[in-house]
Amino acid sequence: MRHARRRIVRRVTRLTAVAGLLLGGAMVTQAAMASESPPAAARPLAAASGSGAGGTGAALVARLGTARTAGDWIGADGRPVVAVTDGAAAREVRRAGAEAKVVRHSMDELKSATAALRSAPRVAGTAWAVDYRTNRVVVSADSTVSAGDWSRMSRVAARIGSFVRMERTKGTFTTRLNGAQPILSTGGRCSAGFNVTDGRSDFILTAGHCGPAGSIWFADAQGGRQLGRTVSSTFPGNDFSLVQYASGRAGDGADVVAIGGGNGVRITGVADAAVGQRVFRSGSTSGLHDGTVTALNATVNYPEGTVTGLIQTTVCAEPGDSGGPLFSDGIALGVTSGGNGDCTTGGTTFFQPVTRALSVLNVKLIVSAQSSGAGAPSASPAPSAPAARGAMAPNAASPGTAAPVTGAAGRTLLARLTDTRNVGPGLLVIAGSLIALAATRYIRAEQDRKAYQRHYSATWG
């Protein structure tokens, strides 16, 4: 009976070792394939071309001026659409290959309306932005705005003109304090945005409301891994801050933003967002979500103060997603500021444009050098607005080129061992399987030798 059990154990061990060899070989093969450079078709379209449909629209607006135009956006077919106030401007837009929409109010008039709203007494829980497509200024009030404040805001809007529209919205406009990797301090939890550099040290660009200058950040809830310290923070007014790495360097994968499950997206450039553009947001609470840019230069009156110049989107966000990156086709666009709703019911989320933050902070985005054949990330060149706007339909956009997340805080041993982009685990599985096979072979030989000795002794004893 004992011999039968031993035979069963040896057979099971051998079968397990053979299976381990097959699994290890598959892991090594898959890792080798994953490490190959992506084909040209898989690389971000936006990074490949500096001139696109959206770029044409922005150039036309700049040439015609704000007195004759009222914004531009990307149409459903990917073509740029430019709002103009006269027939001559419309003809010039069409000659340039874009679609023209004749509207009543110029951008100068729309900006004058937003200036009048800013000069009115501040009401927390309100927000406004220019809706290019309807040629209106839309004022939103959340559930915290009282009937009296709503009435006062409505009177202000009526004095400005009929092109200012008032609307109620669900939920409350709040900052999203408490991926984009999680970063934690005594003030709460936020999400890392993008890695940037001033040429001497590396930093995390995140939301300003996450914490004032001097805030200490950790990569784990126990406070055992100090990540860095906030060295510059602006909020309200703007909403961005710099967290300097404790080591001075961002390390491997500085050009990658996390999207969950050990996966990431490689960042290849920086640009301004465009109305109608499909965008993606990653955060440490809710992960990766997508939506559309609905307005630029939005103003939000948070309870803590007013922030202007924001990107307004239909992307959802939740507490803890603050500071997380907004991007499209590998192009950095913004960091999460706040909004209303959640990722179950949806909502509106606002983002601080990256281009403005980089300009004020005098830093550069750390971007991928993969396309140029270099082996390490490099600092971004001067921001280029058209770079983010490829001549394609918005629904054809993607987050960008996939990349592994290295140095991910909180990754378990199992997650590292099952990472298909890592050759090491596969080699370990193969080595363990070979050892197991050798061990079973040795044990079988030793048992046969002892059995022969016993038989010989019994025969000749």
Q: Which residues are catalytic?
A: 209, 239, 322
CA-to-CA distance for 320 and 313, rounded, in angstroms? 18
Cβ(202)–Cβ(195) below 8 Å: yes
Scanning 40-106, the segments in alpha helix (DSSP H) are 45-48, 53-64, 87-95
CA-to-CA distance for 192 and 181, rounded, in angstroms? 5
CA-to-CA distance for 61 and 53, rounded, in angstroms? 13
β-partners of residue 84 are 69, 102
Phi and psi at residue 415, in whole multiples of 5°? -65, -40
Residue 40, CA distances (Å) to 307, 370, 378, 424 in order: 40, 12, 20, 28
Nearest to 268 by CA among 279, 259, 255, 257: 255
For tokens 């550069």, what's the residue?
Answer: 364
Size of the chain in residues: 461
Q: Cβ of 455: how many Cβ atoms within 10 Å?
A: 10
Nearest to 250 by CA among 406, 422, 35: 406
CA-to-CA distance for 367 and 37, rounded, in angstroms? 16
Cβ(189)–Cβ(284) below 8 Å: yes
β-partners of residue 269 are 331
The separation between CA 255 and the C-alpha centre of its own chain, rounded to angstroms, equals: 12
Residues with Cβ within 8 Å of 124's Cβ and at least 6 positions away in sequence, in order, are 144, 145, 301, 302, 303
Nearest to 239 by CA among 334, 144, 171, 331: 334
β-partners of residue 188 are 185
